[in-house]
A and B are shown apart, each in its own frame.
Chain A
Amino acid sequence: MEQQVQEREAEELTLVTRKSCFGLPTACPHSLPVFIYLKLAQIPFRLDFNSIYPDSDQIPYVESGTYVAYNNENDGVIECLKNDGIVDLDSDFHSLPDWVSTKAMISSWLSDAIMYELWVGSDGKSAYEIYYSDLSWPIGKALFLKQVYLVKQRLGITKDNAEQRENKIYKRAKFAYGALSTRLGEQKFLFDDRPSSLDATFLGHALITLYALPESSVLRSRLLEYDNIVRYAETLKLELIESGSSSSGPHFHSVPSSSAPRKGPSSWKSKPKSKSKREKTEEEKTFKKRAKYFLAAQLVAVLLFLSVMGGYDSGDVELDEDDEGFAYD
């Protein structure tokens, strides 16, 4: 009975993210866009959390039965879902002139800005709450310090250029907000009044900036200057997150892993080449394994010869009766 319940749970589409906090279903900048994307596509899914692996780039991931889409494969979970034919909100937008530049702006400037603000810009409390609050203190602290160091390295921040880099990051974020505010205007979504993956990514960024960052945050105050973005964020938050929380619908969209899903051109592989390549490496593997066993057998034979021919030690403990002097006067 319990096993059946668990098996059913495993077949449902499940999104695993970092934990929920600050009133958001998840406050991790990589995870929230995926959540919003699935909500925009109106796909029912379960939400599960992994709060003990803050330094993993595999999270968030989407799973259903034996199918898994990790965030560190194929440019992210959203791209994986597109390529595997599960959901694609962007099919009509690729041809638009601004699409690529807007995408590049969000995924570089805004992504850098939120990363900087969470780990370096603000006091780090928000990042600690999102990533490390469920880990025991010594581990959480050590991983937090390690991550701060890595972020500084990634953003090229050193002691000498810290202030300059900070100004550059905030300036670029402001430009991006301005451009996106103009693009948005009074529409409901960024492009053509229809939801797209860029809405998911930008909305994720905006919600985290508004709700998870402290009030003293510079990035947050920059974003608050654009009323239409704030309205956009709050309206969609109400619609997607607060009404009808991620509870299950009457039916679940289970990903057919056995039947062939629609594949985009990017995932076509040249089959004959890959097959012969794999056969070759299989042969090499078998050969290497056999060579390893042969060498191991030789070594064992030598050791055996030396120790058996050398004599067998029964392993008894012997007490040695040695120097004990008796002196009597």
Chain B
Amino acid sequence: MDSLLQRMKKGPVSLRVHDVIIKGNTKTKDYIIEAEAEELKSVGSMQELVEASHLVNLKLKALEVFDSVKITLDSGPPELPGTANVIIEVVEAANPLSGQIGAYTKAEARSSTVEGSLKYKNLLGYGDLWDGSLAYGYDHSAEVSAGVYLPRFKGFLSPFTARAYLQSQDWLKFSSYKERSLGLSLGLFSTRHHDLAYNLAWRTLSDPSQMSSRSVRRQLGHNLLSSLKYTFKFNRRDSSMRPMRGFAFASTTQIGGLVPDSRSLRFLRQDFDLRYAVPLGFYRAALNFGISGGFVFPWGNGFLSRPSYLPERLFLGGNISPLTTFGGPTTLWGFKTRGLGPTEPRRQLNDESADPSGVDFVGGDLAVTALADLSFDIPIRWFREKGIHGHAFACAGNVSKLTENAYRDFSIKKFAESLRTSVGVGLVIPTSLFRMELNYCYILKKSDEDRAKSGVWITFSGN
């Protein structure tokens, strides 16, 4: 043993793997484990073998279907010198069922959701993970879904996921409509930087209050949504909850209407987000900059004069911190959910004593937001230990309509002149369950109908 270690210290000890023996799997198919252990076949030395074994161990654990993984290195058959056998011993999960509850903020969501899910591991022996979950969002959305995750599906390079869901979202207070979707989403390709997903859904917009404005009324009904979504993410920041150094970029492209049927929803939506963090050196302070934008447009015959699909439009405002949402323009500090952008007057009842019904926020086709945030530690030890820090921020954003020939009236000057801006200071309290911000926001510029207020705001973001 000592002589071997001596030899290893001096230089690479040449070795190759003769055989990979898999033990302990009763349900799991051999090829699943073999596929995760591919690196072992190509090692050329002892050092490489040790490294590769470590990697394979981690990969097999990441499948989440084994209680323990043990890799043993043995010498190869005596007639072949310089070879080794690798023995992989797995213990499959005794209890395939597990559950969890958590708070999350998804990229497309405007608010955080609380989600409870039940997982069943390895039902078919392909390393498959089945789950059923219930999610409830702060913005009156509810979802029940069931999905499956297959790490190796028929030779695909990356894992395959499929999810069937029934989702409902209540926007009555903001835009006088309710949205219900029944659909199937397939994760076709997912790596660290790229993600390709397909979504087929039956979406219904309805208005039980019967108070909606004209353009919302025109969009009520059923639609078939068949879309492909490609996301590119590049994250070189040191942390996503409190970034202090690095930059990140995300771009999401969604094309709807990929069936030959011209009656399905045809639209193109592009979002992008760029973040940059600069450390300042004192009190662990950092300056964070971000700019994000998006646009949506229908395509097909007569697309210039048609309206864009209401739920796919861009809405700004919400009760989450703009620092934590990464992927596109979503919120601004100080502005309520769907609180800014184009509006339309709601239906007026013919009753003189009725209060004015207000307006619907109908969203826009082009949105841009920008933010600047200075975060710093508070010089009190108790706060530092708990990770509670302060921040000062400023943000600006605007939403504009382009469809139905409104692009002819659009000008960048008018867009810039009507930018909403807000500034403020606050305290950030990160916990293991969620991240809370206690801010004082001051609205510098807003439009008359915007739902924004200067004052104390509390925002929650999931981890």
Which A residues have a C-beta under 8 Å from some C-beta of B? 1-3, 6, 10, 16, 48, 50, 52-54, 56, 58, 61, 63, 66-68, 70, 72-73, 84, 134-139, 142-143, 257, 260-261, 263, 267, 269, 271, 274-275, 300, 303-304, 307-308, 310-315, 319, 323-329
Distance (whole angstroms) from the CB of A254 to the closest CB of chain B: 14
What's the least CB distance linking A271 to chain B, in Å?
A: 6
B42 proximal to A (CB < 8 A): no
Residue in contact with B223 in the complex, picked from A52, A68, A143, CB distance below 8 Å: A52
In angstroms, Cα B215 to Cα A16, docked, is 13
Contacting pair A307 B432 (CB below 8 A): yes
Enumerate B188-212 residues with CB–CB distance to A below 8 Å.
202, 206-207, 210
Leading 8 A-B pairs by shortest Cβ distance: A52-B221, A53-B221, A307-B431, A136-B224, A312-B387, A66-B348, A2-B405, A325-B72
Residue contact B429 to A304, C-beta cutoff 8 Å? yes
**A-facing residues in B211-238 (Cβ within 8 Å):** 213-214, 217-218, 220-224
- Which chain B residues border A3 with CB–CB below 8 Å? 406, 409
Bound-complex Cα distance A267 to B351 (A): 9
Assembled-state Cα–Cα distance A58/B221 (Å): 11
Is B70 located at the chain interface by the 8 A CB criterion?
yes
In the complex, which residues of chain A have a beta carbon less than 8 angstroms from the beta carbon of B259? Answer: 136
Contact call A315/B429, Cβ cutoff below 8 A: no
Task: Report the separation of the CA atoms of residues A136 and B213 in the bound assembly, to the nearest whole angstrom.
Answer: 26
Contact with A along B404-420 (1 / 0, CB 8 A): 11101100000000000
Q: Mark B56-74, 1 if CB is under 8 A from A, else 0.
A: 0110000000001111111
Q: 0/1 per residue, B386-411, Cβ < 8 Å to A?
A: 11100000000000000011101100
Q: How far is the CB of B240 from chain A (nearest CB, A)?
A: 9
What residues on B are CB-neighbors of A58 within 8 Å? 207, 210, 220
Contact check: which of B70, B74, B221, B406 meets A50 at CB < 8 Å?
Answer: B221
Give A10 to B430 CA distance when docked, in angstroms. 49
5 A-B residue contacts at CB 8 Å?
A53-B221, A63-B214, A139-B222, A142-B202, A324-B70
Q: Are B241 and A315 interface neighbours, CB within 8 A?
A: yes
> Is the beta-carbon distance between B432 and A313 smaller than 8 angstroms?
yes
Interface pair A308/B406, CB less than 8 Å apart: no
Smallest Cβ distance from A259 to chain B, in angstroms? Answer: 10
Picked from B75, B202, B386, the residue with its CB within 8 Å of the CB of A139 is B202
Inter-chain contact A275/B353, CB cutoff 8 Å = yes
Contact A63 B431 (CB under 8 A): no
B348 touches which one: A67, A70, A136, A260 (CB < 8 A)?
A67
A-chain residues with CB within 8 Å of residue B263 when the two chains form the complex: 134-136
Contacts A66-B347, A139-B224 given; does A310 touch B409 at CB 8 Å:
no
- Known A3-B406, A56-B220, A315-B239: A327·B350 in contact at CB below 8 Å: no
A136 to B200, CA, bound (A): 12
Shortest CB distance A281–B (Å): 13
Given the interface pairs A3-B406, A136-B264, A307-B431, the reply to whether A324 lies near B74 with Cβ below 8 Å is: no
Whether B338 is near chain A, meaning CB under 8 Å from some CB there, is: no
0/1 interface trace, chain B 345-387, chain A, CB 8 Å (1 if under)? 1111011110001000000000000000000000000000111
Cα separation A269 to B345 with both chains bound (whole Å): 25
Residue of B whose beta carbon sits closest to that of A85:
B350
CA distance A274 to B346 in the complex (A): 22
Asked if B433 and A257 sit within 8 Å, CB to CB, the answer is no
- B residues 308-357 near A (Cβ < 8 Å) are 345-348, 350-353, 357
Does chain A have a CB within 8 A of B41? Answer: no
B53 at the interface (CB under 8 A from A): yes
Query: Chain A nearest CB: distance from B60 CB in Å?
Result: 12
Q: Are A67 and B436 interface neighbours, CB within 8 A? A: no
Tell me the minimal C-beta distance from A221 to chain B in angstroms. Answer: 34
Determine the distance from Cα of A238 to Cα of B41 in the docked complex, in whole angstroms. Answer: 85
Is there a chain A Cβ closer than 8 Å to B4's Cβ? Answer: yes
**Closest chain B residue, CB of each to CB of A48:** B218
Cα A283 to Cα B386 with chains together (Å): 41
Q: Is B463 part of the binding interface, using a Cβ–Cβ cutoff of 8 Å?
A: yes
Query: Does B448 touch A at the CB level, under 8 Å?
Result: no
Contact of B404 among A6, A67, A308, A319 (CB under 8 A): A6
B214, B350, B404: most-surrounded residue (chain A CB, <10 A): B350
From known contacts A260-B352, A312-B387, infer whether A53 and B436 are also in contact, taking CB-CB under 8 Å.
no
Contacts of A260 in B (CB 8 A): 352
Assess whether B218 is in contact with A1, with CB atoms less than 8 Å apart.
no
Chain A residue at smallest Cβ distance from B239: A315
Give the docked Cα–Cα distance between A142 and B202 (Å).
11
Say whether, besides A6-B404, A66-B345, A50 and B220 are in contact (CB < 8 Å): yes
The answer for the CA separation of A325 and B54 in the assembled complex, in Å, is 11
Min Cβ gap B45→A in Å is 15
- B1 in contact (CB, < 8 A): yes
Interface residues of B in 265-296 (CB under 8 A from A): none
CB distance from B71 to the nearest CB of A (A): 6
Residue pair A84, B241 in contact (C-beta under 8 Å):
no
Which chain A residue has the least Cβ–Cβ distance from B226?
A: A136
Q: Judging by beta carbons under 8 Å apart, are A324 and B220 in contact? A: no
Q: Does any Cβ of A come within 8 Å of B79's Cβ?
A: no
The answer to whether A67 touches B210, judged by C-beta atoms less than 8 angstroms apart, is no
Is A84 a contact of B386 with CB atoms below 8 Å? no
